[in-house]
Amino acid sequence: MSIQNKINVAIIGATGYTGLDLILMLSKHPKVVITNLCATKNLGKKISYFDKRIKKNLPKIDSVKKIKWNKIDVVFLSLPNGEAQKIVKKYYYKNKKLKFIDLSADFRITKAKIYEKNYKIKHKAKRLINHALYSIPELCKDKINSFRIISNPGCYPTSVQLPLIPLIKKNLINTKDITIDSKSGFSGAGKNLEKKFTHKNLYSSIYAYNPKNHRHTCEIEQQLLFFLNKKINFTFNPHLLPTFRGILTAIYVQSKKGKTGNILRNSLIKFYKNSKFIKILKLNATIGSGNVLNTNNCEISICETRVKNKFIIFSALDNLVKGASGQAIQNMNLLYKYPEHLGLR
Catalytic residue numbers, as ranges = 155
Rounded Cα distance between 229 and 226, Å, is: 6
Residue 222: its H or E element = helix 215-228
DSSP per-residue string spanning 80-143: -TTTHHHHHHHHTTT-TT-EEEE-SSTTT-SSHHHHHHHH----S-GGGGGGEEE--HHHHGGG
Contact 165, 216 (CB under 8 A): no
Give the HSE-up count for residue 134: Cα atoms under 13 Å, Cβ half-sphere. Answer: 23
Beta bridge partners of 280: 300
**Distance of alpha carbon 57 from alpha carbon 36, whole angstroms:** 12
Contact in structure between 189 and 130 (CB atoms under 8 Å): no
Interatomic CA distance for residues 217 and 338, integer angstroms: 33
End-to-end CA distance of the chain: 25
CB 105 within 8 A of CB 39: no
Judged on CB neighbours under 10 Å (0-12, 13-18, 19+), 251 is buried
